[in-house]
A and B are shown apart, each in its own frame.
Chain A
Amino acid sequence: MFCYVTHGVTVLSAWRLNLHAAPPSAEAALEIVEGPVPARLETPTTTRACTAAESGLALLDLPGIARILVENGKRIVVEPARRGESASVAAFLLDQAIPCAVAQAGHLVLHASAALVGSAAIAFLGVSGSGKSLLAASLAFAGHSLLCDEAMRVQVSNRSADVYPETPAVKLCPPAASQYLPLDQEPVPTRPGLEKYYVRPPRSPEPSPAPLKRLILLEPVRSGALATVRLTGAMAWKVVRAAVHQPHLLGSWELTRQAAVACSRLANAVPVTRMRVPASLLATPDRVLEGAGVFD
């Protein structure tokens, strides 16, 4: 078994994962094991074509890869479709099953990347392909540190919020992957046959929470000038709410209201900026941070 810490949770896993290693612990909060997984849930209250959820459970059906059952935020059971697909299983564990378990445990999880700049976290929101990972990578290779690539657990208190580190590696597609992959690192695809690679920045912070200083919603544009708008009130809340990771599953666990309240508090506690970023500036992160007023 492998022992990791991610999202502030100690994980004991039968699969090797690209996460922060932790000393072997008998008190893992989340266990990932191999075992039989049913083809469907008995009384699903949420269904999509390949996912379903009911009280305490979520089922991911990955045709040809695996079925994965997430149980009460404490246990993930994987039934691989065949041997030799461990990298594929690991990719879906990292991006979907583990964030799902963290959300099941009652934590707010956003679809976001984040980097540690100084002693504070800067998080990037946006649709897939908007440049979240690329910006986090460019920051991590410019002397800062990577916190999250796909999912970000946020703990909101009265007037502040903390981010829990997710991973020491960012996933990039070419050409960014070849731009950032250090010469001493072999290109490791996230899955066989997929043009998406793990890239590990040189510095990796301790996997302890960092105060969240700014949420930046990325709207990529091919060209033009960088433009930013500070969002407040309902606009900020809507942006945060739209970033909730796998929100369709929360209703089955009666967590929708809790997540909505957490989003509202987060939008009040942390400045939210919408930013139109020309593609050429995604690799010059200081310009982006300056534009977002991070250094003000």
Chain B
Amino acid sequence: MKRSLCFLASYPKSGSTWVRALLLGLLRPQVEDVLDTLSRGFSLHAASREFLDAATGLESSNLTLAEARALRRRAFVFAATTRLPPPVLKIHEAFDGEAALGSPEITPRVIYVARNPLDVCCSLAAHRSMDIDRCVEFMGDPSAELRAPHGAPQLSQRLGAWSGHVAGWTRDHSLPLCVVRYEDLHARPAVELERLAGFLGLEVERPRIESAVRAASFDQLAAEERDAGFSERPPGMPVFFRKGRVDSWREELTPRQAARIERDHSPTLLQLGYSLDS
């Protein structure tokens, strides 16, 4: 029987951690320490060496980056066809063709989390300790990459420009696709989560949806981070859950920076239903 593997794809800082927390609330409603459970393997990260090591059984620090990347398709197939839980893989890398994700043994499907790039820019700059101008350049660079030294917990990840990232994951394939906008999740989380559950083939009652939304609310996750920390917070950054707001770019970007992002990405912004209002 063909197995399915769901890729939770997003450009960094677009809300995929929030979506993972929402899915956790749906699938394991009894879990109280949401962040701890997320970082201890509830959803795997396609670029993590821990995932690659577990799926291949090899010590990936002995592999070159090219070898590690080449082995990942086998690791995806393994994750889909075994009980290694769960079959949801977070991925930030640019879409690299359907062949890189699947094989005759599995059917990949894609949840793509999109967010207004003006807000992404503010969040990513803080997350990567980058200045805003540099981050604007980074998001427009087709060769942009999250570089990691050899032996780091995550492999280097090719992102490309923000527009190309969105286009690759939402237009350049025929895989089953569900696009979720951060702003819609913010405005009507229960409705969006119900849509996600339907896409994943989960039959869930409305009370459980609402309970998952409460458990994954920004205030709840930020409080949990304050109390117990979050291992995915990058060193040097005071908090992972920074603002969790829509349109906070209005307080953080200069008009010139906002206009530059809109100019670089306007067709994709419009495709996703964002207005050009800087």
Contacts of B62 in A (CB 8 A): 88, 91-92, 95-96, 190-191, 194, 196
How far, in whole Å, are A249 and B62 apart by their CA atoms in the complex? 19
Contacts of A62 in B (CB 8 A): 58
Q: Quick one: given A48-B78, A128-B53, are A60 and B58 in contact (CB under 8 Å)?
A: yes
Contacts of B50 in A (CB 8 A): 127-128
Contacts of A254 in B (CB 8 A): none
Contacts of A120 in B (CB 8 A): none
Give A171's nearest chain B residue, CB to CB: B61
B71 close to A50 (CB less than 8 A): yes
Give A192's nearest chain B residue, CB to CB: B64
| A257 at the binding interface (Cβ < 8 Å) | no
Contacts of A127 in B (CB 8 A): 50, 153
Contacts of A128 in B (CB 8 A): 49-50, 53, 59-61, 151, 153
A173 close to B149 (CB less than 8 A): yes
| B57 at the binding interface (Cβ < 8 Å) | yes
| A63 at the binding interface (Cβ < 8 Å) | yes
What is the CB-to-nearest-CB distance from B156 to chain A, in angstroms, rounded to a whole number? 12
Query: Which of B57, B67, B153 lies in contact with A49, CB distance below 8 A?
Result: B57
Interface of A is mostly: loop
What is the CB-to-nearest-CB distance from A275 to chain B, in angstroms, rounded to a whole number? 16
How far, in whole Å, are A48 and B51 apart by their CA atoms in the complex? 12
A48 close to B59 (CB less than 8 A): no
B57 close to A129 (CB less than 8 A): no
B70 close to A223 (CB less than 8 A): no
Interface string of A37-65 (1 = CB under 8 A from B): 00000000001111100000000101110
Give A248's nearest chain B residue, CB to CB: B57
A222 close to B236 (CB less than 8 A): yes
How far, in whole Å, are A55 and B1 apart by their CA atoms in the complex? 28
Top 5 nearest A-B pairs (CB, nearest first) are A222-B235, A51-B57, A48-B57, A49-B78, A49-B74
Contacts of A208 in B (CB 8 A): none
How far, in whole Å, are A64 and B150 apart by their CA atoms in the complex? 20
Q: Which residues of A contact B (CB under 8 A)?
A: 47-51, 60, 62-64, 88, 91-92, 95-96, 127-129, 150, 173-174, 190-191, 193-196, 221-223, 246, 248-249
Contacts of A191 in B (CB 8 A): 62, 64
B151 close to A48 (CB less than 8 A): no
Give A111's nearest chain B residue, CB to CB: B59
How far, in whole Å, are A129 and B61 apart by their CA atoms in the complex? 9
| B55 at the binding interface (Cβ < 8 Å) | yes
Query: Which of A64, A195, A221 lies in contact with B67, CB distance below 8 A?
Result: A64
How far, in whole Å, are A248 and B59 apart by their CA atoms in the complex? 13
What is the CB-to-nearest-CB distance from B26 to chain A, in angstroms, rounded to a whole number? 28
A50 close to B56 (CB less than 8 A): yes
Interface string of B226-248 (1 = CB under 8 A from A): 00000000011000000000000
What is the CB-to-nearest-CB distance from A38 to chain B, in angstroms, rounded to a whole number? 17
Contacts of B88 in A (CB 8 A): none
| B34 at the binding interface (Cβ < 8 Å) | no
B56 close to A173 (CB less than 8 A): no
Q: Quick one: given A50-B56, A96-B59, A190-B62, are A129 and B236 in contact (CB under 8 Å)?
A: no
| B152 at the binding interface (Cβ < 8 Å) | yes
B56 close to A48 (CB less than 8 A): yes
Give B235's nearest chain A residue, CB to CB: A222
How far, in whole Å, are A223 and B74 apart by their CA atoms in the complex? 37
| B77 at the binding interface (Cβ < 8 Å) | yes
Q: Quick one: given A60-B58, A190-B62, are A49 and B75 in contact (CB under 8 Å)?
A: yes
A96 close to B58 (CB less than 8 A): yes
Most chain B CB atoms below 10 A, which of A174, A194, A248 = A194
What is the CB-to-nearest-CB distance from B70 to chain A, in angstroms, rounded to a whole number? 7
